[in-house]
Structure 1
Amino acid sequence: MPPLLSIMTQEQITAFFDSYKAFGPIVAILLPLIEAFLPFLPLVAFAVANANAFGLWQGFLLTWIGASLGSILVFLLIRKFGQMRMLHFISKRPSIKKLTLWVEKRGFGPLFILLCFPFTPSAAVNVVAGLSRISMWQFSLAALSGKCVMLFIISFIGYDLSALVKNPLRSIFAVLVIAILWYVGKRVENRLNIRMSQSEDKGGS
């Protein structure tokens, strides 16, 4: 059982989420939206808090709206200002240029797959997509659908934290699923990187 949950009672957890819910749905949307600009913030924690405070479906929907809007806003800002002098150093980095060209060639598919997994650096994906010539509609569709899959999985696993306190097996199952998602996400990311390198080698030969 996670240490934090082991020292909290069901009443304390319920009281915490009741107080969180009192801030209203606007905060539930704003926190995931801000995370798109400040990726060190814990999106997973926001998704779990929303699901527990507002219920699985409403909490998931609020998190999805906020996270998707945040990603699209970052994309649009990078698309508009990415070539300015203050941000020019980002687009000129060789690794970013290679990834940008690869996204332009592959389009929707890789973006959707990367955004499906909770431990993918989605902030980097948003920036690279903004620097590429992929259309806003392609990116928006990838962000909306990819984050829908990812956030529903997190919300479903983290929903009803009081049950994690009462049922240690559920805690173990939740940790196991998260570990599997992390592992699969990293494998997919590595395979995509290998394919990108192979494409570049063929193009250069």
Structure 2
Amino acid sequence: MLVQISRKGASKMWSVFNTLSSLKTFLCGFGVWTPLVFLILQIVQVVVAPIPGGPLTMLGGMLFGWWQGFLLSALGEIFGSCMGFLITRRVGEAFVKRFDKKDWSKKLLNLNEDKLGTILFIVFILPGFPDDIACLAAGLTPMPFPKFLKLCLLGRLPGFLLNSLIGAGIMLDNHLLTLVILAAYLSIVLLAYLLFHGRAKRLIVRHQQKPNK
């Protein structure tokens, strides 16, 4: 009976995060504490990954305005990224295995530091990659923490800013600003793609083709 109640409670709790509207209602219920709860959620979603980071960052822009939403999202996600990295470094592979369904940790472990930095930057700057999982997996590598932090700041902040602006509606109300921001962001993504994507793909494919020892 207790197990059944516990499962129902967990199911009800996670249903809050199914849609942006339900999450918005949940957050607004905390009144003046909403920014703090939002910050905590941004930290938690990186470390245990139950909530998609992109939509949550857009919601931050919607609730708090673009610059406050960006600041809260950046603080929460960068802190969460660093926390995940350090937890994995201390606890080890068992922590990553809970979330790493595609063995990103194995893909990163055999790379030297220069190649590892290139791969992580690509994962952080280009949309569609599992950047939160990569933060956890990076904790298993020899990469120094200061270098990891620098890659997080350079690679993740542009995406946070873009999502915050979208959520705040700035990019709907001001078409000129929309074009400038999108052009700048797409230029960064395209440059990163041209410089690093082919190299990263070859490195990953080469690693996957190595025979298991």
How does the TM-score come out when normalised to structure 2?
Answer: 0.63
| CA contact 1:107–1:138 (8 Å) conserved in 2 | no
Q: 1:132 to 1:59 in 2, by over 3 A?
A: same
Write the deviation string for residues 27-68 of structure 1: whole angstroms up to 9, x where unpaired. 121111111122231212211111111111111010011011
Between Structure 1 and Structure 2, how many residues are aligned? 175
1:159 equivalent in structure 2: 168
CA shift at 1:117, angstroms? 2.9
Is residue 79 from structure 1 mapped to residue 89 from structure 2 by the alignment? yes
Structure 1, unaligned runs of 5 or more:
1-11
Write the deviation string for residues 122-149 of structure 1: whole angstroms up to 9, x where unpaired. 1321122101000001111111221111
Q: Of 117, 141, 158, which residue of structure 2 is paired with 1:108?
A: 117
Q: 1:160 to 1:102 in 2, by over 3 A?
A: same
2:203 equivalent in structure 1: 195
How does the TM-score come out when normalised to structure 1?
Answer: 0.65
2:144 equivalent in structure 1: 135
Same amino acid, percent of matched pairs: 24
1:64 equivalent in structure 2: 74
Cα distance in 2 for residues equivalent to 1:54 and 1:130: 32
Cα distance in 1 for residues equivalent to 2:106 and 2:61: 38
Cα distance in 1 for residues equivalent to 2:38 and 2:122: 25
| CA contact 1:108–1:142 (8 Å) conserved in 2 | yes
- Please, which moves more after superposition, 62-71 or 120-129? 120-129
Is residue 149 from structure 1 mapped to residue 149 from structure 2 by the alignment? no
Q: Of 33, 46, 52, which residue of structure 1 is paired with 2:56?
A: 46
CA shift at 1:153, angstroms? 1.5
Question: What is the root-mean-square deviation of aligned Cα atoms in Å?
Answer: 4.2
| CA contact 2:74–2:160 (8 Å) conserved in 1 | yes
The DSSP-based 3-state class of the residue aligned with 1:131 is coil
Is residue 27 from structure 1 mapped to residue 26 from structure 2 by the alignment? no
Equivalent AA in structure 2 for residue 34 of structure 1: V
Q: 1:40 to 1:105 in 2, by over 3 A?
A: same
Write the deviation string for residues 91-133 of structure 1: whole angstroms up to 9, x where unpaired. 9x98733422226342433322211234210132112210100
| CA contact 1:20–1:53 (8 Å) conserved in 2 | no
Cα distance in 1 for residues equivalent to 2:197 and 2:97: 24
Cα distance in 2 for residues equivalent to 1:63 and 1:156: 12
Structure 2, unaligned runs of 5 or more:
1-20
